[in-house]
Structure 1
Amino acid sequence: MPALVAARGPGAGTVAGTVEGEQMSIRQRRAVATAVLATSVTVLSACGSGSTASNGASADTFKGKPTGTLNAWAFDNADDVGKARLDYAKGQLGGLDIKLDQTAFDAQKFTTRIASGNVPDVVQMNSQFVATYAAQGLITPVDQCLSTHSVTATDHWYPQVVDDVKYDGKIWAVPQFYQPPAIILNKRVMDAAGVTAADIDTSKPEALIAAAKKMTKASGGNPTTMGFNPVPTGQPGLWLLAFGGKLIGDQGKPALDDPKNAQALTFLKQLVDAQGGWAKIKSFTDSFDVFGDKNQFVKDQVGAEVDAQWYVNVLTPYVKQVDISAVPLKDSSGQPVTAASGTAFVIPAGAKNPAAACAWMLDLTSDAGWMAAGAARAATLKAKPGAINTGLFTGSPSADKSIRSTYVKPSGNAGFDQTINTYYSILPTGKSFGSSPAGQQIQTEITNAIASALLGEKSPADALKAAQDASMQAYTKVVK
C-alpha cells in the first residue's frame, strides 16, 4: 500500500528519513505494541511505582551552558534536511561532544536500556509512544526545559502537535513536525471517467462512493485502476476523525467503541466493496511501485488517493508524467480535517546530561534550525534542473511560513502548485489523535479492526468492540 505516514518520508525534513507506517504489517505492529507494554511494565516494576523519577525535573535541571557529552539515539538515515539541522545544533552548542547512535528506535531496546542504566540523553520516537512511557516514569517531562529556554509550546508549535505529546497535564516531548494527509487527485483518470474535484468530497459519502466506482477499472475480475484509495490501514485514526469519532477519550482511555467510529468503518467497507472488495484491493495496491518510475500516478492505477504531504516530493521527479491536483478531506459538516502525528524527542528518566539534551533538541526544532534545513533542501534541488520545492512541514507555524515564503515559488506546473497550496492550507485544521498510555496498542487494534471489518470477518461494531477490549486491557496494565 502507499504509505500514509505523517511521521516520516522522503523529503520530510526529519532527522531520520526512513519510511514507516503502512509498510509495517499488522503482525509486526502487534509485536511492537506487545514489546512496548510487556517490557515497559517489567521496567516499571523494577523502578518502583508511579513516575517519581520523571516528575522530579526542576528548572535547575535544564539551566547552565551545555557541556560534556550528549548521547542521542534513533537518528537513523538522516537526509539533507536532517543533516543540516544536526549541523546547526552542533554549531550552537560549542564544545558539546555529541555522540549519535544512528540505529532505529526499538521499543524493547529502549526499556531494556533504562532498566540496565545505559540511558541515552535524547531519544527520537513516534509520538504515539510518548504517553506510554510518561505514565510509567520512563521519560522526563519537558515543561521546565521549555520554560528555561523561554519557549511557549503552543506559540512555537501547532496546538494539535503539542496535544499529541501531552499527558496528565504535562508536556513529555519536543515535537518535531507534522505532515498532514490530504487527497491527491489523478486528473487523467478523473477526466476520462467524467469525475470532477467536487465529486471527491468525503463529507458526501454516497457521492464519493459513486465517483470511485465510476473511475474503477478491472480485468478478469481484478482491479487495474482503483477509483479512490482511502489507504484505510495506513493512518486509520484519520477516518475516525473525519466522521467525528475518536481513538482516545478522557484521561487517555481508549475510545474505539465510539458509535461514530462504526459509521467510519461502515463507509470504508462500502467504499472498498464498490471497487472490488478489500482482498483484491489490498493485493493490487501492494503491487504499486510507490517510490519508483512506475508509481500509481504515472501508471494511472488510482483516480484519487489519501497521502501525507511528503508524497508530493516523491511525485516531483515525474512532473511531466503525471497530472495531479489535491483536495482536503472534509468532516461531515464540510470543513477540512486532517491529523497530526509524527516523531518527537524525549529525555529518558536517568539521563546523565538533561541540560544538554534540552538545549540540543530545542535547537534542532528552532526556526533557525529549520531555516538551515530549508537552505539545504533548496541547494539540493538547485542541482536538479526542473525540481520542485514543496516546502518543509515542521510542526512550527512560524518556521513553515518562513520556509514557504523564502523557498516555495511557482513551479510552472499549475497542478503541482495547487497541490502544494492545498497541503499548506490544511495545516491549521489538524486534530490530535490524543495521547494514551496504551497509544501504540490502540493503533495496532484499530488497524486490526479495520482490516477485519473490510474483509467481512466481523461487523464494524463487533470489530471495534474487540479492539476496545484489547486496548483497555493494555491501558489497565499501565494505569493502576
Structure 2
Amino acid sequence: MRARAGAAGAIAAALLLTGCGGAAGNAEADFEADPTGALSGWGFENTDDVGQARLDHAAAQLEGVEITLDQTAFDAQKFTTLAASGSMPDVVQIDRQFVATYAAQGLLMPLDACFAANDVDPQQRWYPQVVQDVTWEDQVWAVPQFYQPPLILTNARVMEEAGVEASDLDPSDPVSLIDAAEAMSATEGGSISRVGFDPQGVSKAAMWMLSFGGGIVDESGAPTLDRAENVEAAEFLQQLYDAQGGFAEVSSLVDSFDLFGDENPYVTDQVGAAVFDQWYVNVLTPYAEQVEIGAVPLRDQEGEDFTAAGGSSFVIPAGAANPSAACAWALQLTSPEAWQAAAEARATTTEAEPERLGINAGLFTGSPESDTAIRENFASAEGFPGFQGAIDSYYDVAAEGTSLGGSPAGQQIQTELQNAMQSILLGDSSAEDALAAAQEAAQRAYDQVSTE
C-alpha cells in the first residue's frame, strides 16, 4: 500500500496553499497591522467541499484582502529555488514534519507574534503533539491543519476465517501479532494472495520505532536512528513480513491493490488488517455494504494506546510581502468557525450523494475543540456498526498521539531511514548495520545544516 502515501496527502489535505520568501524581514513583520491588500498562496489544488467551505469562510472574514492562488502542488525543489530568488508567495503549506528543516534554513517566520496579535494560544487551539510538530528552538513556526491518526483497520471476514481475535492484533505482544498475521495470510499457486497484516513498514517506520520506545530524533532535532529500540522495532517488522512470505512478496501484492476502486482489498479480502490513516475510512464508505471493517488501536510496548501525529501546516516565508494578512488568513482557515463550516458542507455532501450511504466519517482537524464538536454533531455511520466503531476508534486515539519530532535535517533523516528499512526488510542488511549506516549519513546532514 505504498501508493497510498501520496494519495493520503491529497485526501487528508483538501486545501493546499504554499509560499515562502527571502531570508530577510523576520524582525520587521508587523502582525498587529490590519489584514488588507494583496495576498498570494501557492499550491492550491484538489479543492473539495471541505476546502472550499474553509476558503469561503476565511474570505468572508477578510474582506479587505485580495487573495490570489497558484493551483500547482508543492514541490521541494521549486520551493528552494523560489526562496533563493525571493519571489515566493505569502503562504505555504508543507508537511509538518519538515517545518523545522525550512525554519533552520532561515526561510520561515516564527509565528509566536502572529498568534499573540490574534489572541490565539497554540496549546489551546491544537493538540499538544500537533504543536510540537511545528516547534523548533522553542518557537512555533507554522499554523497546523488536519491530523490523520493511524490505527489498525481490520477485515472481520478474514479474521473470522483465520480464527483471529482483535486482541491478537496487539503490537505490545509482538509474537501474538506475528502469529495472527501469518494465520490471516494466504497463498495461491505458490504466490501470496492475501496479506495478513500490512504494517506499512517503510513509510510508517518512524511510528513503529516510537511505539517501541525509540524515535528518529532527539529533543534538539539530532538524528537517533541507531537507538537500540529502533533496531528492535526494525527486527520486529522484518519478522512480521517474513512470516507472511517476505517483504518483496508482500509489497508486490500490496502495490497491485485497487486501493481506491471497486476491487479494493477490503472488498476482495486481500488483506486481513492494515495500518491506515483515518482518510481511508472515507475511501471505503461507498463499499460499506460489501465490507466488514473494524478498528484496533495501535499500542506501545507498555500496552497503552498509541498513535503518531501527522498532517500539514501553513507557514509564512521570511520576507513575506503581507505577513499580517497571511497570518490572519491562516488562522481563519483553521478557526473553529471554519471547521464548523467545513463540517456543514461535508454533511450536505453526504446527504446529497447516495453512494456515501449516509456515512459521515467526520473531520480530523488538529484541534480537539473542533474534533469534539464535529464528532458529536456530524460523525455517524448509522446502520453500519463496523464503520461506526472505526470512526469512534480514530477519534478516541487522536488524543494519544505522539509527535515524530522535527529536525533541521528532517528530510534527509527520513530518506536515510526509508532506505535503511528497505535494506533491512529485503534481508540485504541487518537492522543494526543498516540503521548505524543511516545514522552516520543523517548525522552528517544534521551537522552540516546545524553549523550553517
TM-score of the superposition, structure 2-length normalised?
A: 0.96
Q: Provide closer, same or farther for how the CA distance between residues 403 and 472 of structure 1 changes in structure 2, counting only shifts above 3 A.
A: same
Q: How far apart are residue 250 of structure 1 and its match? A: 3.0
The answer to whether structure 1 residue 313 and structure 2 residue 288 are counterparts is no
Unaligned runs of 5+ in 1: 18-39
Residues of 1 paired with 2:173 and 2:198: CA distance?
A: 16
The answer to whether structure 1 residue 228 and structure 2 residue 197 are counterparts is yes
The answer to whether structure 1 residue 276 and structure 2 residue 245 are counterparts is yes
Give the letter aligned to residue 447 of structure 2: T
Which residue does the alignment assign to 1:301?
270
Give the letter aligned to residue 418 of structure 2: T
Give the letter aligned to residue 143 of structure 2: V
What secondary structure does 1:250 align onto? coil
Which residue does the alignment assign to 2:367?
396
Q: Which moved more, 1:135-144 or 1:229-238?
A: 229-238
Residues of 2 paired with 1:117 and 1:270: CA distance?
A: 49
Residues of 2 paired with 1:424 and 1:3: CA distance?
A: 25
Residues 178-197 of structure 1 mapped to structure 2, 5 A cutoff: 178-197=147-166
CA contact (8 A) 1:177 1:394 kept: yes
Which residue does the alignment assign to 1:85?
54
The answer to whether structure 1 residue 457 and structure 2 residue 428 are counterparts is yes
CA contact (8 A) 1:173 1:344 kept: yes
CA contact (8 A) 2:159 2:272 kept: yes
Residues of 2 paired with 1:348 and 1:308: CA distance?
A: 29
**Which of the numbers 329, 340, 355 marks the counterpart of 2:309?**
340
Which residue does the alignment assign to 2:86?
117
CA contact (8 A) 1:11 1:81 kept: no
Residues of 2 paired with 1:454 and 1:201: CA distance?
A: 21
The answer to whether structure 1 residue 170 and structure 2 residue 139 are counterparts is yes
CA contact (8 A) 2:196 2:272 kept: yes
Q: How far apart are residue 342 of structure 1 and its match? A: 1.3
Q: How far apart are residue 57 of structure 1 and its match? A: 5.0
Give the letter aligned to residue 162 of structure 1: V
The answer to whether structure 1 residue 140 and structure 2 residue 118 are counterparts is no
CA contact (8 A) 1:201 1:329 kept: yes
Which residue does the alignment assign to 1:433?
404
Q: Provide closer, same or farther for how the CA distance between residues 57 and 5 of structure 1 changes in structure 2, counting only shifts above 3 A.
A: farther
Offset from partner CA, 1:225-274 (integer Å, 9 cap, x none): 11111111222211111111101113110110111000000000000000
Offset from partner CA, 1:323-347 (integer Å, 9 cap, x none): 0110100001100110011111010
Offset from partner CA, 1:183-233 (integer Å, 9 cap, x none): 011000000011111111111000111111111100132111111111112
Q: Provide closer, same or farther for how the CA distance between residues 243 and 3 of structure 1 changes in structure 2, counting only shifts above 3 A.
A: farther
CA contact (8 A) 1:70 1:121 kept: yes
CA contact (8 A) 1:230 1:306 kept: yes
CA contact (8 A) 2:205 2:421 kept: yes
**Which of the numbers 151, 158, 183 marks the counterpart of 1:214?**
183
What secondary structure does 1:62 align onto? coil
**Which of the numbers 414, 418, 430 marks the counterpart of 1:443?**
414
Q: How far apart are residue 9 of structure 1 and its match? A: 4.8
CA contact (8 A) 2:107 2:318 kept: yes
Give the letter aligned to residue 415 of structure 2: T
CA contact (8 A) 2:40 2:90 kept: yes
TM-score of the superposition, structure 1-length normalised?
A: 0.90
Q: How far apart are residue 11 of structure 1 and its match? A: 5.1
Residues 346-365 of structure 1 mapped to structure 2, 5 A cutoff: 346-365=315-334
Offset from partner CA, 1:337-394 (integer Å, 9 cap, x none): 1001111101011110000000000000000001111111111111123231010000
Q: Provide closer, same or farther for how the CA distance between residues 314 and 166 of structure 1 changes in structure 2, counting only shifts above 3 A.
A: same
CA contact (8 A) 1:72 1:101 kept: yes
Residues of 1 paired with 2:377 and 2:232: CA distance?
A: 43
Residues 148-163 of structure 1 mapped to structure 2, 5 A cutoff: 148-163=117-132
Residues of 2 paired with 1:119 and 1:215: CA distance?
A: 51
What secondary structure does 2:12 align onto? coil
Offset from partner CA, 1:107-151 (integer Å, 9 cap, x none): 121122122121211011111221111111111000000010010
Give the letter aligned to residue 432 of structure 2: A
Residues of 2 paired with 1:133 and 1:262: CA distance?
A: 29
The answer to whether structure 1 residue 322 and structure 2 residue 291 are counterparts is yes
Residues of 1 paired with 2:77 and 2:43: CA distance?
A: 13
Which residue does the alignment assign to 2:45?
76
Give the letter aligned to residue 469 of structure 1: E
**Which of the numbers 106, 115, 118 marks the counterpart of 2:75?**
106
Q: Which moved more, 1:112-121 or 1:140-149?
A: 112-121
What secondary structure does 2:399 align onto? helix
The answer to whether structure 1 residue 246 and structure 2 residue 227 are counterparts is no
CA contact (8 A) 2:183 2:196 kept: yes
Q: How far apart are residue 16 of structure 1 and its match? A: 3.5
Residues of 2 paired with 1:475 and 1:233: CA distance?
A: 21
